[in-house]
Structure 1
Amino acid sequence: MKRTEQPTIPNLGLVNDVSPRAVWDAFHPPRLTQARHLAGMTKKEVATRIGVSPAAVGQYETGSSKPRPELLPRLADVLEVPVEFFLAGRPMGKLDTSMAHFRALRSTSSAQRDRALGFAAQVWELTHALEKRIQLPWVDLPGFAGGEVHPGVDLPAEPVAAARELRRRWSLGKGPVRHLVRQMEAHGIVLVAPSDADPSAAKVDAFASAGLPRPLVILTANRADDVYRHRFSAAHELGHLVLHSASTGDAAQEHEANAFAAAFLTPAEYIKPLLPSRMNLAHLADLSRAWGVSVKSLIYRCRELGLTSEASASRAYQRLAALSRQPGFAPEPVAGFPGEQPVMLSQAFELARRESGLTVQELARELAWKPERVRVLLGVADTRPVLRLV
């Protein structure tokens, strides 16, 4: 990352130093919708909290009317944003369901998707604010409309061929993909892993979007906290970014992204000679650690590549389940693998802090967020001393 010239940032004012009347004059309806989605609230819930009708909230969001100035502080309090959040004039990330690839789309409610899309939009807004100060890695993703290294160049439409070609373009060689998340960040893809404390994206599985100026992948925590599932999810979302310009939400796209992930992490021509001709879980466990994929996925790969029968694979899955808590077969926590944890945004902030004195409070003022929200998205701890009353 390189430092760029410090831009002149319009002064939006510190939290609470803009009058409700001034906010009313420049009220931006989409910001209300974004804040409501991020809060996970319905129009009816917001209306009840501020003492208006649900129809009135709907009119505020469409722009056919505006909330009275005296309502704005109450609205900000209910949605847990500064009142300045509702001001027009700031860059805004705008996404809809067709622009994001959600796994298990049918089991994800529209409210959960809206909340996750709001989170993704905020990630882009934070990225945009940092990119005005720091030169982030160029987008090196063939087929992505905003690609800076291969503009207008597409990968093959067939998943296995696309995975093979992307490995070649990224010079990944013939062996395992080391530090997959770091590799994706190094090629300009923004990745974030929301903490369990942030509900904005926690209720949906990992998802990706190519609908913003930078490709974006949200890696929500898997229930097993398993780095191998984490890596497969990242590769799966990478598959969506290079194969699918728009989301249809159908099983075919999910199958293609899975095929891409398997071929990207364990190319048949490289992994097949290493797989056992007879099912051997100890050998597969060694391969699992070397290639950064689960034993279960390697059993599937054996079956897929014709090295074992369906019945033999089924018996191997049963034996694997009995070993699921044993060393070598138990889930490996993601926290133990720094190269699989996103760092681009936090490192960009640290570089800007060192070079220009950027603070969380300054970013919060520019974005019209609460400082706590900036810290959550950056993964930056609050360094203030804690007062404990006894």
Structure 2
Amino acid sequence: MKLIFYGEKLSNIRKLNGLSRKELAEQLDITEQAIWQYENDSMLPRIDVLNKLGQLFNVDTKYFFTQEYLIHKVSEEKIAYRAEDRESRKKTKLEITFVNFLDYYINFFEQNLLIPQMPIMDIREKTLKMLQETNEDRNECIKKIAEFVRTELGLENNKDLMYTLEKSGIYIVEKKLGTQIDAYSTVTQDGRLYIVLGTVKKSAVRRNFDLAHELGHLLLHDDVDMDILSSADLKTIETEAHLFASAFLLPEMQFVKDFQSLTRKSNPDYYIELKRKYLVSIAAMEMRAYALGLLTYQENRYFWGQLNKKQYKSFEPLDDEIPPVRPGKVRALLKFVLDKEVMEIEEICKEVHIRPDFLSYLFNLETDFFKPYLTTQKDYFGHTEVIPIGDFRDKTSTR
């Protein structure tokens, strides 16, 4: 029986790892033309090249000789980047491949579980209806939607934002996105929502705003084709997502009451306790307050002068004291499935011809995450020690 090399699988796994053909060729010490020929099924790689590919991508060589299983559920028009980020077409295609892999393996691990209807789906439908039926200014509608969503999610304290969004049904993961991209969001063809956060170390308040911003995209811009928007249109939807995040994290009635207690509204140092409470940056709180008419023009000018003078634009008070929270839902899913022996990691890897390190890379897990499940003699966990799917918050999930 003749073995068939599937070049599409090499192309996809190369993109998953963020490599161009040229970069992969350099790592394998072959020509870029050779990579092109492999991926277009024009030439079969030598044995030594196959072995290097397996080591580099943490797969068995047999991986490249089985048909592609990846299901393409994400497209360019559904990737919500910052306006400037969309200039990189290459980057967008790489991230599409990443989310398609991510979605495939989450489906793989969930296939034997009963997953209930998630609240975020109902919230999205109601939000869309509010946008379609409103006769008022769109920005005013977005503010109302933000407070409506906060109420629907039952978010009382911003420190619980990550947990609340994951519990609502959004899948949040971390990935190396470089220094230019903070986060992005997308929705699959069958309606699964993703937020991808960069792993570059940043403050908890910055991460909270990223989460709220991407939530805004997922709720407000489902009907927007991101791939054909002009630069001006992209800036408009970015502004809308910012507006949503601000109103969502700083609900008007509560924030106005707290802000009015400040004795020096134009001095950034007087915002520190509010920052501790809301987990929102000093700069973002002032912008929200100014938009609500809580500062005069002169107070606003003086505030930004002081912010620059104190060099708070790059680093604010408390930024190094409040640890950012890490996602926990996907980790809890994997632990639940493996602890309960719904699946065996060896069987999973054997079925799709990958190695555990492939999954560690995909889900941004520590390299020894699967080690307890690879030993012959297992430590079996009692029921109380297993993280349930419905309550995956882990106190160790903060940096």
Name the TM-score class by shorter chain.
Answer: 0.7 to 0.9
Partner of 1:356: 341
Matched, 1:74 2:49: yes
1:162 aligns to what SS in structure 2? helix
Query: Match for 1:66: what amino acid?
Result: D
Deviations 1:339-387 (A, max 9, x none): x3211111111111111164444443444433212123152441669xx
Matched, 1:371 2:356: yes
How large is the Cα RMSD of the aligned pairs? 3.4
Matched, 1:216 2:194: yes
Q: Is the 8 A contact 1:176 1:265 kept in 2?
A: no
Matched, 1:181 2:149: no
Distance 1:363 1:333, change over 3 A: farther
Q: Is the 8 A contact 1:93 1:124 kept in 2?
A: no
Q: CA deviation at 1:76?
A: 6.9
Q: Is the 8 A contact 2:143 2:244 kept in 1?
A: yes
Cα separation, 2, equivalents of 1:53 and 1:133: 42
Distance 1:88 1:202, change over 3 A: farther
Query: Structure 1 residue aligned with 2:283, among 291, 296, 301?
Result: 296
Q: CA deviation at 1:39?
A: 3.4
Query: Structure 2 residue aligned with 1:344, among 321, 329, 334?
Result: 329
Matched, 1:41 2:19: yes
Partner of 1:129: 108
Q: CA deviation at 1:331?
A: 1.0
Query: Structure 2 residue aligned with 1:162, among 127, 140, 145?
Result: 145
Q: Is the 8 A contact 2:209 2:245 kept in 1?
A: yes
Matched, 1:171 2:149: no
**Aligned counterparts, 1:23-62, within 5 A:** 23-24=4-5, 27=6, 29=8, 31-46=9-24, 49=28, 54=33, 61=39
Q: CA deviation at 1:259?
A: 0.5
Distance 1:153 1:330, change over 3 A: closer
Cα separation, 2, equivalents of 1:331 and 1:212: 38
Stretch moving more, 299-308 or 316-325: 316-325
Q: CA deviation at 1:100?
A: 0.5
**TM-score, L = length of structure 1:** 0.75
Cα separation, 1, equivalents of 2:195 and 2:35: 31
2:198 aligns to what SS in structure 1? coil
Q: CA deviation at 1:46?
A: 4.7
2:119 aligns to what SS in structure 1? coil
Query: Match for 1:231: what amino acid?
Result: N
Partner of 1:92: 71
Stretch moving more, 285-294 or 372-381: 372-381
Deviations 1:274-299 (A, max 9, x none): 21375154542111111121111111
Deviations 1:159-181 (A, max 9, x none): 21221221232233xx5434111
Deviations 1:35-82 (A, max 9, x none): 22233333345567575664x755765xxx514444487257348332
**Aligned counterparts, 1:240-319, within 5 A:** 240-245=217-222, 246=224, 247=226, 248=229, 250-276=234-260, 278-279=264-265, 280-319=267-306
Q: Which runs of 5+ in 1 are unaligned?
A: 1-18, 142-146, 386-390
**TM-score, L = length of structure 2:** 0.73
Judging by fraction of residues, say which structure has more helix.
Answer: 2
Query: Match for 2:52: what amino acid?
Result: D
Query: Match for 1:165: what amino acid?
Result: F
Query: Match for 1:112: what amino acid?
Result: K
Partner of 2:99: 120
Cα separation, 1, equivalents of 2:311 and 2:42: 59
